[in-house]
Chains A and B, each alone.
Chain A
Amino acid sequence: MRKSYQVWLPVFLVCLLTVAASAQSFQVQCPTTTITHPTAAIAEPAYTGATTFTTGSAGYQTPSSHVNGAIKCQQISGGDGFATMGDGTQTYMFSFGPLSGLASIAAGQPGTAFPSEFNTTPSSPLVPGDPATNGNPFNGAVGLMPETYTDPNTGLPVTRMNGHVDPRQIMDVGVMNGNIPAPLMAIDEDDEFFLTLTNVGQVMRPDLFEQHTVHFHGYPNASAFYDGVPDASVAINIGGSFTYYYLAPDAGTYFWHCHITPPEHLQMGMVGQIYVRPRQNRVSGDLYTALGNQQADPRTACGRTGDGHVNAATDILCSNPLPAVNTSAVGGGKYAYNDGDGSTAYDVEYPLQIHGFDPNFHFVGMTFNPEGFTDMKDKYFLLNGRSYPDTVTEGPMMTQTTDGSNHFSQPLPSIINIPAGKKALLRISDLDVTEYQTLASLGIPMQVVGINAKLLRDQAGNNLSYKTNSITLAGGESLDVILDATGYTAGQVFYLYTPNLDHLSNDAENFGGLMTEVRITN
């Protein structure tokens, strides 16, 4: 019999704080202004130079000009759900689900929103399974509602959106709405990101009182408090919300996952993707000059060795030195990194997350039985939560959960559509729990431009990107690949597949698994 206190050494706190925190449990946070972004914004400002600061009366620096980035918010549920495997099996999972950006997520887009969109209420109440149930195109925070209270200064009633949440909406939408991969997130460099994790409990496992956390994997100079490792900080209990706060790290392809009992929670599906767009995307002029402008802010500076800036020789982890060759490239496009020479330019982008499910482990995870970690063996191989041929099925996949409601369990197909002559950026991450997996490209070479969310460039500014036909990743690794469709014609179809040929299967089904299609379009 499983013991109820058997969680990762919880030490429940006796409240000694003098903080004036709200007494409620569910709460979302999405301020419209902060110290770093003092003006409410609904779009990313163009990047014209590094932010300049003045020290205010409170003793800390505030921006005086060139405010870059904006505030972005998202809410997710931590709980459970069901997904459909390549052989049609409905499989139980622990998972994160969307509690904001529902319409965007169902459309295969990131669910990250500006406060102006996040802090809204739906036109009609959401019901279990939404948006799969009634297609309600709502992108705000689920459950957020105005709160009326008495202003202590004036004595008058005030109605305001201040993070107050209606728990019924949260539970209606959040219970068993798990997604695999977890809700997609995307932010820009210089953004402040408020991610609220709301623990709605795991309906299929009433014996577990699981906390959940969010670990943003790979963030440089992460804080322990927001790193999401329960042993090192705090984890959120059932019935509570915790808001992670981060200034966006350097541009790149990261990923995120729960860090509670990782061998269990990651295998069971609590894995997701996040990427950070470079400020170079907001540059319209000369890229080399713009990258040079970043040297003025020590936070973003990375010169070449000996060029007089904060540079590689003095910051050994500095990752974006000015390129050795000035290509006079001009901005206005989309780039994977602040390359300063246009070498990471692309036209369309696709996040791809590699994962694997062990069906025995998932069955045991639903039925209270002891879990074997040494015998863990994946039999389903997932790209964005699906196995071939589901990877090339358009639109979100729907799975019915045990309460009879339909949920969009797997919103992301993995179809790589590239217009002829254009380039696609594949943001590939892997959160497999047991083994390395290889993804190969038949027909179009892969150009690897970044590894582990860092541009491939040496400290002297030379580009170190390389061409290959396959990439190999283990859980905890990511990289960026550009597929160039120059010289290809519309209608051609190529394959991304795994040469781990036993992974081209859906459990006992002979053909399926880690495979998808690259389609050249008009």
Chain B
Amino acid sequence: MRATNMKKTNSMTRVLLAPMMAVALLLLTATAFAAAPGITGPAFNLTAQPAFTTQPDGSLVYSWGYGCASAPSGFAPAGITGTCSNMQVPGPTLIVTQGNTVSVTLTNGLPVAAGNTSILFPGFNVTATGGVAGLLTQEAAPGNPVTYTFTATTPGTRSYYSGTQGDLQVEMGLYGAIIVLPAGVPAACTTGVHANNLTAKAANQVHAGTEGDFRLAAAAYNHAQACYDREYLFQFSEMDPRIHRQAEEQSTRTCTGCMNVATEPYVPAYFMINGRSMPDDMDGNYAPQYPHQPYNGNPHMHPGELVLLRIIGQGRWQHPFHEHGNHVRVLARDGNLILSATDANSLAGPLLFTTTTTPGQAIDGIFYWTGKGLNWDPYGHGASVTSATCTPDANGYNTGAPTAINYFEWCQDHNKPLQAFPFGDVAGGGPATLPNPNILANGAWYGGSPYLGPEATVRAVGSTGTTPPSGTVANSPTDEAGFAFMWHSHNEREITTNNIFPGGMMMMMLVDPWVYPINEAN
């Protein structure tokens, strides 16, 4: 069986989505979202192995990846049931705590023809024992181990990747992330609004699903502005299948370290987030149909929640990762907090709506969405019997009652209509007029109305929204009715999978009403 399928789709550039989307949608209704899962140590027993990874065009791509040589100490966060096979792309996310002495033993399970392999841990002072001398670090010879030891001195997100023949081994998939949790978190991160957010989640669920706390910690750093309510890890990489095919063909050679794979010219056809292309990236963590690609990209959040984005550039190209919906405040680069020169309490990282990824570099950033400044009420409140109250706090949000259905509503726009004419139960008098619905095409993640939440949507357009009956769409009007935003590489060519659009480095981020449980469990 040909492992890499280079046959281009000659007949269509925009493939009929229904078959692909059907799989993704079925799994979406099973509520499996994202977070930043991984394995805990601080001693890790890893191996490097070959296996095939899958792409949405049906290809199986011969790849190399790190995996667990034996069962890890544990998995994190607690709410996500983890597994660790002996090969995955990206490699297992190593989760440790500041101050830990981390030891990573790597055993080389790659084909003999591939030669040595290794791991670099940029940002740490690494001592290597065993193995054989390599250019950048000690390496593991075929079938043999090497051990890397370092102290996780500072918190943050960093990359790790092979230090041997990087142009080939990183391309093949030998990369991953290491997250260092802070030894202590500021009290502000576990009290006040962040405690209220936990209460709001527990109190508002109208479904059987529960929404636990899937964070690894309450803050990314021991700094009052590094608090967060939700977190995601996104690693960006690309693949040129011709390189993988060469490696596969040469992998059966019996000579040691004699593979000679041309890694230029470089024409990638696959662009991945956490090792998967769209729409596969929106399936669950540890989804069984991707045994070697356990991590996903399917971010959700409630209005007002602070979301930590751990963004790593792997591979060899930069990618302009664009987050629709708001800017991201960059907290740190490669685990280094960017603080004001005159006040350590003040952040100095830029606000970016496009967080460019650079190979080997990690960024920690904070994002939120609240609807501040929309100039219309996104909950479709009006002078109707279901109108709720909105009491602004010092920042203008309704945070006094965490159990309120409109917790974190931006109060300045409360009850302000959008539509010039009444829209279902929502009052008119607003500035805009919707055109005849027959001339609009609706998207798969359209909640059914301009409004946020099932209560508002049903009042505005009825229980089917403006879309077919719920259950066949990705953002049900009666269940979720969230605001969808696309997060994607803005080198738009990269949101394709082997010449097929849609695909590649793309995912949909959903701002879900507080009544909808965001269940990150798999």
Contacts and interface: CB of A to CB of B under 8 A. Distances in A.
30 contacts: A1-B11, A10-B442, A12-B441, A15-B437, A16-B461, A17-B424, A17-B461, A22-B433, A27-B433, A60-B415, A194-B431, A217-B322, A221-B325, A221-B369, A223-B374, A224-B325, A232-B445, A310-B395, A313-B225, A315-B395, A316-B366, A319-B351, A370-B12, A434-B491, A435-B491, A451-B350, A454-B352, A459-B348, A460-B342, A474-B320
A29 B412 contact: no
A9 B17 contact: yes
Residue of A29, A245, A313 most packed against chain B (CB within 10 A): A245
Interface stretch (A125-133, A262-270, A495-503): A262-270
Nearest to A222: B325
A59 B387 contact: yes
A522 interface: no
A458 B349 CA distance: 7
A434 B13 CA distance: 17
A151 interface: no
B258 interface: no
A29 B11 contact: no
A458 B348 contact: yes
Interface in A213-249: 215, 217-218, 220-227, 229-237, 239-243, 245-247, 249
Q: How large is the interface on A (under 10, 10 to 19, 20 to 34, 35 or more residues)?
A: 35 or more
Given A2-B12, A61-B416, A299-B373, A459 B436 contact: no
Given A243-B432, A305-B343, A374-B498, A475 B320 contact: yes
Given A17-B461, A232-B483, A374-B268, 15 more contacts: A6-B12, A9-B444, A11-B442, A13-B437, A15-B438, A27-B433, A232-B446, A234-B443, A236-B435, A236-B439, A247-B375, A262-B495, A319-B351, A460-B346, A474-B490
Interface string B214-227: 00000000001100
A329 interface: no
B478 to A, nearest CB: 14
Interface of A: 1-3, 5-13, 15-25, 27, 29, 31, 34-36, 53, 58-61, 163, 192, 194, 211, 215, 217-218, 220-227, 229-237, 239-243, 245-247, 249, 259, 261-264, 266-267, 298-299, 304-306, 310, 312-317, 319, 324, 370-376, 432-436, 451-454, 456, 458-460, 462, 464, 474-477
Contacts of A215: 324
B212 interface: no
Contact of B446 (A217, A234, A373, A454): A234
A502 to B, nearest CB: 15
B194 interface: no
* Secondary structure dominating the interface of B: loop
A480 to B, nearest CB: 13
Given A305-B346, A460-B342, A261 B374 contact: no
A317 B368 contact: yes
Contact of B499 (A27, A240, A371, A477): A371
Contacts of B484: 224, 229, 231-233
A234 B445 CA distance: 10
Given A432-B491, A436-B318, A476-B490, A29 B432 contact: yes
Contacts of A232: 443, 445-446, 483-486, 508
Contacts of B320: 436, 474-477
Interface of B: 8-14, 16-18, 21, 224-225, 267-269, 306, 318-320, 322, 324-327, 329, 340-343, 345-348, 350-354, 356, 366-375, 377-378, 381-383, 387, 392, 394-396, 412-419, 421-424, 427, 429-447, 450, 461-462, 464, 466-468, 473, 482-486, 490-493, 495-496, 498-499, 501-502, 508, 511
Given A60-B377, A192-B431, A245-B431, A310 B12 contact: no
Given A453-B353, A454-B350, A434 B493 contact: yes
Contacts of A24: 436
A240 B38 CA distance: 49
A376 B496 CA distance: 12
Smallest CB-CB A-B distances: 3 pairs: A476-B490, A240-B439, A298-B396
Given A8-B17, A221-B373, A29 B466 contact: no
A8 B443 contact: yes
B356 A477 contact: yes
Contacts of A454: 327, 350-352
A310 B354 contact: no
B421 A462 contact: no
Contacts of B269: 374
Nearest to A37: B431
A10 B21 CA distance: 13
Contacts of A459: 340, 343, 346-348
A317 B346 CA distance: 12
B213 to A, nearest CB: 20
A221 B413 CA distance: 13
Contacts of B443: 8-9, 11, 229-235
Contact of B427 (A58, A235, A267): A58
